[in-house]
A and B are shown apart, each in its own frame.
Chain A
């Protein structure tokens, strides 16, 4: 966990891509889940944040 946070702080691609992927997956689940309308409402923002983050962080060094 400490190494993950350290890699995040050093702006490394791997952990940042993981964070972006989690955000995208969370957004998609929120978009399609049948339980809470508020989650559906916020889903696009979460997916968009994750996708934009993914595009940016994929240019970070390994």
Chain B
């Protein structure tokens, strides 16, 4: 007579399966359970990576799949890393990356700090601030092109209202000087709420008794901010920087919809350039080498961030 659930399950196992499983060790059983996951990881992550590395060493073109494959060695890498146009693209990406992260962290943290205070309508304001993050990047890109219109755009009128200059005298997405800032503004508008939410989680995790102890010790609000708030929110801030840094390094949809990489190639970020090489010029081998360069860069940066994050958490 079986009593425990395990005994009942064992008793209900068909004899044919039971006899087959009975001879297996715990280790073998563990491998049987883990094997599908390992197989999936190999198929979805590792195999494409190895295949891309292989393609990056050839002149393969996806639109001529039947053509004979030529082994070109490191030539694709050499050409990418000596190309002034791709260098220019990297600089555009750097501009976008640095400014978006800086603005999002500053504004996001400030908003979180303000929202963390108890006031009427706190939840409503949080919902309103978080709204842009919930929209699709394609939709955001599309409606910001209207906001940036010199003739009818609200953005130009807002700038005109504040500065007094003629709204039709400048075009945010048509000007070589302003277009890089146009994409920074939109990305900041869209993703600051994300940074704010992470900072808010950090701020709410600080116990009140620490501030009470600091108040008893007569620490000024400024000192409380620098010695309690900021150090305790730092791991959360670093996490936000890591997420936004990796995301913005790969930024594609929003910018394509907003400027299409123009005017000229002023706002052509690396991922847009990579897509053009891969699916407009069909230089698949070359694009694979390009993708590997970007992958190594993101992987390296992520390694540093994760290490720094662990260090901050240990403090």
Given A28-B301, A44-B77, decide whether A51 and B296 contact each other with a Cβ distance below 8 A.
yes
List chain B residues, Cβ under 8 A from A51. 296, 299-300, 303
| Binary contact readout B75-97 vs A (1 if CB under 8 angstroms, 0 otherwise) | 00100011010010011011001
On whether the beta carbons of A17 and B307 are closer than 8 Å, the reply is yes
For the side of the interface on A, what is the size category? 20 to 34
On whether the beta carbons of A32 and B94 are closer than 8 Å, the reply is yes
CB of A49, distance to nearest CB on chain B (Å) = 10
CB of B120, distance to nearest CB on chain A (Å) = 46
CA distance A26 to B307 in the complex (A): 17
CA distance A37 to B83 in the complex (A): 9
CB of B126, distance to nearest CB on chain A (Å) = 35
B304 at the A interface (CB under 8 A) = yes
CA distance A28 to B246 in the complex (A): 13
List chain B residues, Cβ under 8 A from A17. 307
List chain B residues, Cβ under 8 A from A58. 303
**Looking at chain B's contact residues, is the secondary structure mostly helix, strand, loop, or mixed?**
helix
A34 at the B interface (CB under 8 A) = yes
List chain B residues, Cβ under 8 A from A20. 303
List 3 A-B pairs, minimum CB-CB distance, nearest first: A32-B94, A24-B300, A51-B300
* 14 examples of A-B residue contacts, CB within 8 angstroms: A21-B303, A24-B301, A25-B304, A28-B301, A31-B297, A32-B91, A32-B97, A40-B87, A40-B90, A41-B82, A44-B77, A44-B293, A44-B296, A47-B297
On whether the beta carbons of B94 and A44 are closer than 8 Å, the reply is no
Residues of B within 8 A of A (CB): 77, 81-82, 84, 87, 90-91, 93-94, 97, 293, 296-297, 299-301, 303-304, 307
| Binary contact readout A46-58 vs B (1 if CB under 8 angstroms, 0 otherwise) | 0110110011001
List chain A residues, Cβ under 8 A from B297. 27-28, 31, 44, 47
On whether the beta carbons of A47 and B296 are closer than 8 Å, the reply is yes
CA distance A58 to B293 in the complex (A): 22
On whether the beta carbons of A24 and B304 are closer than 8 Å, the reply is yes
CA distance A32 to B296 in the complex (A): 14
CA distance A7 to B52 in the complex (A): 38
On whether the beta carbons of A37 and B296 are closer than 8 Å, the reply is no
On whether the beta carbons of A48 and B82 are closer than 8 Å, the reply is no
Closest to B304 in A: A21
Closest to A55 in B: B303
List chain A residues, Cβ under 8 A from B97. 32
Closest to A42 in B: B81
On whether the beta carbons of B81 and A43 are closer than 8 Å, the reply is yes
CB of A58, distance to nearest CB on chain B (Å) = 8
Closest to A18 in B: B307
Closest to A51 in B: B300
Given A21-B304, A43-B81, A44-B81, decide whether A34 and B91 contact each other with a Cβ distance below 8 A.
yes
Closest to A27 in B: B300
Given A31-B90, A44-B81, 10 more contacts at CB 8 Å?
A: A21-B303, A21-B307, A24-B301, A24-B303, A27-B300, A41-B82, A44-B297, A47-B296, A51-B299, A54-B303
